[in-house]
Amino acid sequence: MSASHSQHAFSHWNPLRHDGVTVLSRRNMLKAGMGLAGLSLPALLQARANGAGETPRRKSVILLWMTGGPSHIDMWDMKPQRPIVNRGPFSPISTNVPGISICEHLPKQAAMMDRFTVIRSVDCRKSNHQPNQVMQTGSRDAGPRVNPKGDRYPAIGSIVAKHYGANHPAMPPYVVFQKHPTHVAWGGWLGKEFDPFDGNQAAVLPQLDLVGKSLNTNSGGDLFHLPVGLNHARLEDRRGLARQFDRIQQGLDQRGSMDAIDAYSQQAFDMVLGREAQRAFDLTREDPEIRQRYGDHLWCQQALLAARLVEAGVSYVTIDLSYHTASGTWDNHGDNIPPYGGISRGLKPLLPLFDHLLTTLVGDLEQRGLLDECLVIAMGEFGRTPNMGTQESTDGRNHWPVVMSMSLAGGGLRHGQVIGSTTPDGGEIASRPVTPGDLAATIYRHFGVPIDVTYEDERNRPRYAVEENGQPIAEIF
């Protein structure tokens, strides 16, 4: 994990830990407040205030990040006429859209295909994993394994946080539920204040081991708990808080955290004292029937939280769908390489769970009246090799950063279609390539962020957030 990742908006400040031999005091909450600038930055609060007379915006994105690279051939781009070594062990089934078929282990999505778009021609060249940031940033150079500055390219969610902000001033603009920091993209050159807020710290969630087995324990949920001896009245002493700024000024990152100290900083602290964010992250406040519908699995609980968060005003949520901290649960190399598994023993158990998670989330967003405003994206960092048996496994598939599939729903867009195609063996793009830049441009258009927006690198040189002349995917608008 790089230094830039270890010092994101929360972990750098350690708000609930003792500082050496000092006793707990308002300084701890001050640090929490500085970290919580990642929730809704004072700069964003100011922008919201300046546009207070405008019609409220409610656009949002939920990214289901299938960490490790799901096999496109075994899910959304099946090749039933090919030899078994190519087509794999699964069979296709028809969907409720004539002419579209997907994997037999995705029956719920098949029954709702009119609400989905499948893109079979995503050009994922140069994408790698851990850190797997190319598709999450829209930049092919955002590969820290091959580019020393790869982790400086800002996440799409961070660009949204800066230029769109949260839909409610008491909520974070960009939230992640992560298994490991290298599974998600960060603020990079935008500064730490645009790093995602770590939702795992704010919600009580079940714990799973590295292969997905329940540990029968919960984690997280302590972020909003005040240290012993503190109360809201003491924390609301603005003069006391102001006196603390000078004491920590030297320790602040000049590019990131100091930007949060302005006339709107008090509102950032009010988020800690207020109840909006606490309520959104508290699953016990959810309708028991809806909780039962999602189920108790960690990923499903996080999906329910994502729905609650966008309903409360979060703009961008990423869920890291991985059990383990390495390359990702969807990295299905083969049965002889635990804990990844191959297609039969690794991917197959994931598909019914994913099918339930995806369709329950989309159905719930529709019932909440949010689906037309919330764009749901399901994808990983690349596809898998056309032929099975890589690395001496029986049915594993290796990395394939040539082409992959992804699925979209919601956002008020046109669905019930397939975009693009691959060659007969699924190894190359045959028609309508969709680039990382196209994906970024599509998301920015969804939010109303100009696709020619720029940011500055460490030399103060402007860089375009949308690269390779990326354009919104016209077929869905």
- Tens of pLDDT, residue by residue over 108-130, are 999 999 999 999 999 999 998 88
Q: Are strands 421-422 and 429-431 parallel, antiparallel or unpaired?
A: antiparallel
8 in a structural domain = no
Number of domains observed in the structure of the chain:
1
> Residue with structure tokens 């390779």?
468
**Residue 45 CA: distances (Å) to CA of 78, 156, 175:** 47, 20, 17
**Residue 42 CA: distances (Å) to CA of 48, 232, 270, 330:** 10, 20, 11, 38
**Distance in angstroms (rounded) separating the CA atoms of residues 16 and 226:** 8
Query: Helix/strand/coil (H, E, C) string of the chain?
Result: CCHHHHCCCCCCCCCCCCCCCCCCCHHHHHHHHHHHHHCCCHHHHHHHHHCCCCCCCCCEEEEEECCCCCCCCCCCCCCCCCCHHHHCCCCEEECCCCCCEEECCCHHHHHCHHHEEEEEEECCCCCCCCCCCHHHHCCCCCCCCCCCCHHHCCCHHHHHHHHCCCCCCCCCCEEEECCCHHHCCCCHHHCHHHCCEEHHHCCCEEEECCCCCEEEEEECCCCCCCCCCCCHHHHCCHHHHHHHHHHHHHHCCCCCHHHHCCCCHHHHHHHHHCCHHHHHHCHHHCCHHHHHHHCCCHHHHHHHHHHHHHHHCCCEEEEECCCCCCCCCCCCCECCCCCCECHHHHHCCHHHHHHHHHHHHHHHHHHCCCCCCEEEEEECCCEECCCCCHHHCCCCCCEECCCEEEEEEECCCCCCEEECEECCCCCCEEECCECHHHHHHHHHHHHCCCCCCEEECCCCCEEECCCCCCCCCHHHC
**Distance in angstroms (rounded) separating the CA atoms of residues 23 and 34:** 19
201 in a structural domain = yes
End-to-end CA distance of the chain: 38
List the pLDDT tens digit at each of the 477 positions of the chain. 444 444 443 333 334 433 333 334 444 443 444 344 344 344 444 544 454 445 456 999 999 999 999 999 999 999 999 999 999 999 999 999 999 999 999 999 999 999 999 999 999 999 988 887 999 999 999 988 888 898 999 999 999 999 999 999 889 999 999 999 999 999 999 999 899 999 998 999 999 998 899 999 998 777 776 565 555 555 555 445 554 555 555 455 554 444 444 434 544 554 554 578 889 999 999 999 999 999 999 999 999 999 999 999 999 999 999 998 999 999 999 987 777 899 999 999 999 999 999 999 999 999 999 999 999 999 999 999 999 998 888 899 999 999 999 999 999 999 999 999 999 999 999 999 999 999 999 999 999 999 999 999 999 999 999 999 999 999 999
Which amino acid makes up residue 295?
A: G
257 in a structural domain = no
27 in a structural domain = no
179 in a structural domain = yes
101, 428 Cβ separation under 8 angstroms: no
Q: Residue 248 has what pLDDT?
A: 53
The closest of 440, 377, 430, 379 to 404, measured between CA atoms, is 379
The closest of 200, 424, 172, 411 to 299, measured between CA atoms, is 200
Query: Both tokens of residue 81?
Result: 């006429």
**Residue 86 CA: distances (Å) to CA of 77, 79, 381, 424, 426:** 12, 8, 21, 10, 9
Domain residue limits at 332: 58-221+285-476
Task: Give the torsion through C-alpha atoms of 66, 67, 71, 74, to 10 deg.
Answer: -40
**Distance in angstroms (rounded) separating the CA atoms of residues 126 and 123:** 9
175 in a structural domain = yes
315, 52 Cβ separation under 8 angstroms: no
Q: Residue 245 has what pLDDT?
A: 52
Q: Residue 375, CB half-sphere, CA atoms under 13 Å: how many? A: 27
Q: What's 384's domain CATH number?
A: 3.40.720.10
Query: Both tokens of residue 435?
Result: 């680039």
239 in a structural domain = no
Q: For the chain, how many residues are written?
A: 477
114 in a structural domain = yes
Q: Residue 368 has what pLDDT?
A: 97
Which amino acid makes up residue 113?
A: M
